[in-house]
Chain A
Amino acid sequence: MRVVLSKVLFAIGTLLFVLVFNFFLFRIAGDPIKDLIRGNPRLSEAGRERLIKERGLREGYLTQFRIYVSQTLHGNLGVSFQTNQPVSTMIRKAMPNTLILVGTSTILAVIIGTWLGIYAAANRGSPGDTGVVQSSLFFYAMPDFWAGMLLIWFFAVLLGLFPTGQKSEPGADFSTLGYTWNVTQHAVLPILTLTIGIVGQWVVIMRSALSDTLREDFVTTSRAVGLPHHRVLQHATRNAILPVVALTAINLGFIVSGATVVETLFSWPGMGLLTYNAILNKDYPLLQGVFLVASAAVILANLAADLAYTYLDPRVRR
């Protein structure tokens, strides 16, 4: 129990740190008043004064921080330069799209990666293993957006099988079923691209962990008892999963960066596309908001993985 508590506390601590970091970063690196106004021609003089007062931009740092924290905790992440909409609303609309993309790709990558990793480790040194390792290396070295470009070119432009971007046909009128089908069509290439980007790393980690585990004594014991090959592999995999889960932190970073880039490439209306547009238009409030939400998501995912590890490994539980 104490272990769980300490991990949760650490996650909360990290979140708080991100909050503080976020605040100071934008205050220090830029001039908040100028940034607020920059590129936002829709603000009238009165509107600008109102915003400045709201954020207390002329007050001392401590007051600003207090306002910032209370605003954030209430879900107010500021107003976007580009659209004048609340940042939180924009993020809320974009989040589900990102989740579809990331969720499906991760599940696919984990399934394929685990299967390939087990196959490679169990047949270590064979031509199949070498093939798996080399292609994983190649996919890992490939920038994911480049993979996406190749896929678009081949499947969408040359073969015309899939649309080249966006979530659905703009302006078309759909029934629910028709809409779902249309979205699915649009989702195939982005999901495929992101999966390719993630899977290479996963295969290598899984293969390495399982290879190490297969050398342990208890694997010989399982064989000595007379267990068939697949049961022996089960024993080994159950143990090999542990270091793999522990290394999830690194994987998550890849997934986030992959999602950003893939959404940009395919104009998929998720948080990654928001980020890209924010960069283009120097929309700092939006950038800040996305950074906060993305970091929070990763911290929570890390916590989940950490807790999963605690559950899976009885040596840590007691």
Chain B
Amino acid sequence: MLLDVRDLAVAYKDKEGREVRLIDGVTFQLRRGEALGLAGESGCGKTTTALSLLGLLPQNLYRAEGTIDINSTRGVMHVHRRTERGLRDMRWNTVSIVFQGAMNALDPVVRVSDQIAEAIELHDPGMTKADVKARIAELFGYVGINPNRAKQYPHEFSGGMRQRVMIALALACNPELIIGDEPTTALDVMMQAQILELLENLRRDFGLSMILITHDLSVLAETCDRVAIMYGGQIAESGPVEQLYAGPQHPYTQRLLGAFPTIGGPRELAPAIPGVPPDPADVPAGCRFWPRCHRAQDRCQVETVEERPLGEDRTVRCLFAPWPDTAEAP
């Protein structure tokens, strides 16, 4: 077990000083070499969870509850207890992250090679200049870019290439876990396939563990071993990808999967899920999903719903799971 997250809650204090939780009771594990997909609508807390793993929360957010433990080759790390200094030691050489390839994920006024070199030299000050240069060339080789381009600036790379550069940067210090925060969302379908294939190959070649964050369920189906579906700051359902897709146990997942038409399936428009995700400051009582749930009953509006195991390696946060049939109600 490489990563063990238990009951993680992250919050901020609103103007009246009340605690508003962006994520609550998030629990999951990640085995070495495994790929976990973290899926959900915008604002459900996926990025907040990812940033917590690196201790990278913005100033006004804090960890309200929970633990994050990493069982790395360099020792056991209790991320939630680390000081800023300790976190900086651990960043990039244990866990690294690839952001959505927006224009400015890399410093626009610094050459790409200098930015990668900065990361390498930070965590391995003993390396000589020549070694660093060789390492950069090696990294570019892994991601399939001509090493001569290392001295160029970020804006001189196209979107897909820039993502490759970010991946090269993410690999620079030999991390054990790479987090991809919507790494392909800004790319077209062709590049998306290439990047996913690249990540898959790297994972295999280097034995990396990966957390892939996305709102695109088809991407998860292709690349991940296990999936956790998030809603309203909590994990609604999690489990091995084939099981989850074949038989989703949370009504939210059921509707989400229904929203993706299969090629050979019936030719009809999938119904959209009515309503909007809850505002963290104003969460509904009972189950967070009940206002939009097509299978909600009276109990759902009052009872707090815990995450329950459903057999081996499977959890779900619904009062009525397991469902006898996993299709949506008519």
- What is the 8 Å Cβ interface bit string for chain B, positions 97-129, against chain A (1 contact, 0 not)? 101101011111110000000110011000000
Closest Cβ neighbor of B153 among chain A residues:
A314
Binding-face segment, A10-18, A50-58, A217-225: A217-225
Residues on A with C-beta less than 8 A from B100 are 217
Residues on B with C-beta less than 8 A from A227 are 88, 118, 122
User: Which listed residue, A221, A225, A314, touches B109 by the CB 8 Å rule?
Assistant: A314
Q: Which of A163-203 contact B (CB under 8 A)?
A: none
Instruction: Known A221-B99, A314-B155; judge A226-B106 contact (CB<8 A).
Output: no
Structural contact, A220 and B109, CB atoms closer than 8 A: no
Q: How many whole Å from B293's CB to the nearest CB in chain A?
A: 35
Q: Which of B15-54 contact A (CB under 8 A)?
A: 54
Instruction: Known A226-B122, A227-B122, A318-B156; judge A221-B106 contact (CB<8 A).
Output: yes
Structural contact, A235 and B89, CB atoms closer than 8 A: no
Closest Cβ neighbor of B91 among chain A residues:
A226
User: Which listed residue, A224, A239, A312, touches B56 by the CB 8 Å rule?
Assistant: A224
Q: Which of A198-247 contact B (CB under 8 A)?
A: 216-218, 220-228, 231, 235, 238-239, 242
Instruction: Known A314-B155, A315-B155; judge A224-B96 contact (CB<8 A).
Output: yes
Q: Which of B212-254 contact A (CB under 8 A)?
A: none
Q: Which of A273-317 contact B (CB under 8 A)?
A: 312-315
Structural contact, B56 and A315, CB atoms closer than 8 A: no
Q: How many whole Å from B127's CB to the nearest CB in chain A?
A: 16
Residues on B with C-beta less than 8 A from A318 are 156
Structural contact, A238 and B109, CB atoms closer than 8 A: yes
Closest Cβ neighbor of B99 among chain A residues:
A217
Instruction: Known A224-B91, A225-B91; judge A314-B56 contact (CB<8 A).
Output: no
B92 within 8 A of A: yes
Residues on A with C-beta less than 8 A from B89 are 226
Instruction: Known A224-B56, A224-B96, A225-B91; judge A216-B122 contact (CB<8 A).
Output: no
Structural contact, B155 and A239, CB atoms closer than 8 A: no
Structural contact, A225 and B106, CB atoms closer than 8 A: no
User: Which listed residue, B90, B97, B102, B109, touches A239 by the CB 8 Å rule?
Assistant: B109
Structural contact, A225 and B122, CB atoms closer than 8 A: yes
Q: Which of A234-265 contact B (CB under 8 A)?
A: 235, 238-239, 242
- Kindly state the interface size class of chain A when it binds its partner: 20 to 34
CA A239 – CA B96 in complex, angstroms? 24
CA A217 – CA B105 in complex, angstroms? 5
Structural contact, B107 and A239, CB atoms closer than 8 A: yes
Closest Cβ neighbor of A236 among chain B residues:
B107
Residues on B with C-beta less than 8 A from A221 are 99, 105-107, 169
Residues on A with C-beta less than 8 A from B96 are 224-225
Residues on B with C-beta less than 8 A from A239 are 107-109
CA A218 – CA B97 in complex, angstroms? 12
Q: How many whole Å from A215's CB to the nearest CB in chain B?
A: 10
Q: Which of B144-163 contact A (CB under 8 A)?
A: 153, 155-156
Closest Cβ neighbor of B87 among chain A residues:
A226
Residues on A with C-beta less than 8 A from B92 are 224-226
Closest Cβ neighbor of B102 among chain A residues:
A217
CA A217 – CA B102 in complex, angstroms? 8
CA A228 – CA B100 in complex, angstroms? 23
Structural contact, A235 and B107, CB atoms closer than 8 A: yes
CA A158 – CA B330 in complex, angstroms? 90
User: Which listed residue, B102, B109, B156, touches A312 by the CB 8 Å rule?
Assistant: B109
CA A45 – CA B92 in complex, angstroms? 87
Residues on A with C-beta less than 8 A from B87 are 226
Residues on A with C-beta less than 8 A from B102 are 217
Residues on B with C-beta less than 8 A from A231 are 118
Residues on A with C-beta less than 8 A from B123 are 226
- What is the 8 Å Cβ interface bit string for chain A, positions 71-85, against chain B (1 contact, 0 not)? 000000000000000
Structural contact, B99 and A220, CB atoms closer than 8 A: yes
CA A318 – CA B153 in complex, angstroms? 11
CA A222 – CA B104 in complex, angstroms? 12
Q: How many whole Å from B262's CB to the nearest CB in chain A?
A: 35
Query: Which 5 A-B residue pairs are closest in the complex by CB-CB distance?
Result: A226-B91, A226-B88, A217-B105, A218-B107, A314-B153
* 19 A-B residue pairs with CB within 8 Å: A217-B99, A217-B102, A217-B105, A218-B105, A218-B106, A224-B56, A224-B92, A225-B122, A225-B169, A226-B88, A226-B89, A226-B93, A226-B119, A226-B123, A235-B107, A238-B107, A238-B109, A313-B109, A315-B108
Q: A220-B56, A226-B93, A235-B107 are in contact. List 17 more A-B contacts (CB 8 A).
A: A216-B104, A218-B107, A218-B108, A221-B169, A222-B107, A223-B56, A225-B91, A225-B92, A225-B119, A226-B89, A226-B90, A226-B92, A226-B119, A227-B88, A238-B110, A239-B107, A313-B109
